[in-house]
């Protein structure tokens, strides 16, 4: 199960709508004890409606920052702008971190604001419950 | 020439769980060959044919080698090489 702060859900949705119709992406990092979560919006280097890739330079900077702060990635999020919040074939193909929650949001007009979380391990997808921590 | 290479979590199973390894080489291409000698199997995770895999980022200090000279990018002992798998999808 993914426990996520309400303010992070709002900020992720705002980010996704701001970038719409391009896909938005980012990360939630967590400290060693798991209590401190930090949301980081990433630039989508692909600038595409159907693909995303963390900007490589920014990724290096953010990874160095996480190392300095003894953080690890907890969530990789991205938006689908023309389909539901289900992992695409490419999402599955590129998912490499078994420790991470893959969070998808949809800004498609049919499913506005849909948000779902998955584990993707060795090409196998399992959806998990998300619990929004209200007032955080 | 000894060079430090930072290894991402994804590839640490190949390096005996080491986060940082030392290897030799004057270019990124040579470094990948040396790493393959030390940690067999790592080359195929980094390369696709004769090029660095599209979704594997390799940096010399702060620079992505795609914006330098790719495999021919020169490195010196004071440089740090970082390998990071891209985060991408559809």
CATH of the domain at B75: 3.10.20.30
Q: For residues A4 and A12, is the Cβ–Cβ distance under 8 A?
A: no
Q: For residues B41 and B35, is the Cβ–Cβ distance under 8 A?
A: no
Note whether residue B90 is domain-resident: no
Does residue A111 carry a pLDDT above 90?
no
Mean pLDDT in each 10-residue stretch from start to end of chain B (90 residues)?
A: 93 96 97 98 96 96 95 96 98
Digit-coded pLDDT (tens) for A113-122: 999 999 999 9
Does residue A16 carry a pLDDT above 90?
yes
Give the tokens for residue B76. Answer: 């010196």
Digit-coded pLDDT (tens) for A21-52: 999 999 999 998 888 899 999 999 999 999 99
The minimal CB distance from B55 to the residues A42, A57, A94 is found for A94
Instruction: State residue A86's pLDDT score.
Output: 98
Instruction: State residue A35's pLDDT score.
Output: 80
Share of chain A above pLDDT 70, in %: 100
The interface predicted TM-score (ipTM) is 0.95
With beta carbons under 8 A apart, name residues in chain A contacting B66: 56
Over residues A82-111, mean pLDDT = 96
Instruction: State residue A61's pLDDT score.
Output: 97
For residues A62 and B37, what is the distance between their CA atoms, to the nearest angstrom? 31
SS3 A52: strand
Number of domains in chain B: 1
Give the tokens for residue A65. Answer: 């920052």
Range of the domain at B63: 2-85
Please report, in angstroms and rounded to a whole number, the separation of the first and last CA atoms in chain A: 17
Distances (CA, A) of A63 to A24, A32, A72, B3, B6: 19, 15, 9, 20, 11
Number of domains in chain A: 1
With beta carbons under 8 A apart, name residues in chain A contacting B85: 96
Give the tokens for residue A122. Answer: 């060795």
Q: What is the DSSP string of B12-41?
A: TTTTTT-SEEEEE-SBHHHHHHHHHHHSTT
For residues A30 and A5, what is the distance between their CA atoms, to the nearest angstrom? 12
For residues A102 and A52, what is the distance between their CA atoms, to the nearest angstrom? 13
Instruction: State residue A6's pLDDT score.
Output: 96
User: Which band of pLDDT confidence, cut at 50, 70 and 90, is reported for residue A80?
Assistant: very high
With beta carbons under 8 A apart, name residues in chain A contacting B62: 57, 60-61
Digit-coded pLDDT (tens) for B56-67: 999 999 999 999
Strand partners for A37: A30
How far is residue A17 CA from its own chain's centroid?
Answer: 14
Write the Ramachandran bin of B30: left for phi over 0, alpha for psi from -120 to 50, otherwise beta: alpha
CATH of the domain at A79: 3.40.140.10
B residues 39-68 lying closer than 8 A (beta carbon) to A? 55, 57, 59, 62, 64, 66
Q: Is A123 on the interface with B (CB under 8 A)?
A: no
Over residues A86-90, mean pLDDT = 97
Tell me which residue of B55, B43, B54 sits closest to B14, measured CA to CA. Answer: B43
Residues whose CB falls within 8 Å of the CB of residue B19, separated by 6 or more in sequence, listed in order? B6, B7, B12
Instruction: State residue B56's pLDDT score.
Output: 96
Range of the domain at A76: 2-133
Instruction: State residue A45's pLDDT score.
Output: 97
């Amino acid at each position: 199960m993914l426990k996520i702060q309400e303010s992070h859900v709002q900020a992720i949705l705002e980010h996704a709508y701001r970038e719409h119709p391009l896909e938005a992406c980012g990360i939630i990092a967590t400290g060693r004890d798991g209590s401190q979560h930090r949301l980081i919006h990433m630039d989508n280097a692909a600038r595409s409606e159907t693909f995303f890739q963390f900007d490589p330079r920014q990724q290096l900077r953010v990874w160095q920052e996480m190392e300095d702060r003894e953080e690890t990635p907890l969530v990789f999020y991205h938006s689908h702008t023309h389909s539901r919040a289900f992992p695409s074939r490419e999402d599955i193909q590129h998912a490499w971190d078994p420790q991470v929650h893959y969070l998808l949001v949809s800004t498609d007009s049919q499913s506005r604001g849909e948000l779902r979380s998955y584990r993707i391990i060795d090409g196998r997808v399992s959806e998990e419950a998300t619990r929004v921590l209200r007032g955080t | 020439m000894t060079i430090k290479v930072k290894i991402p979590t994804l590839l640490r199973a190949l390096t005996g769980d080491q986060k940082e390894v030392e290897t030799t080489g004057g270019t990124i291409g040579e470094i990948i060959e040396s790493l393959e000698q030390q940690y067999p199997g790592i080359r195929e995770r980094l390369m696709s044919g004769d090029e660095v895999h599209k979704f594997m980022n390799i940096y010399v200090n702060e620079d992505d080698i795609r914006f330098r000279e790719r495999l021919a990018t020169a490195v010196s002992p004071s440089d740090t090489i970082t390998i990071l798998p891209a985060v991408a999808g559809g």
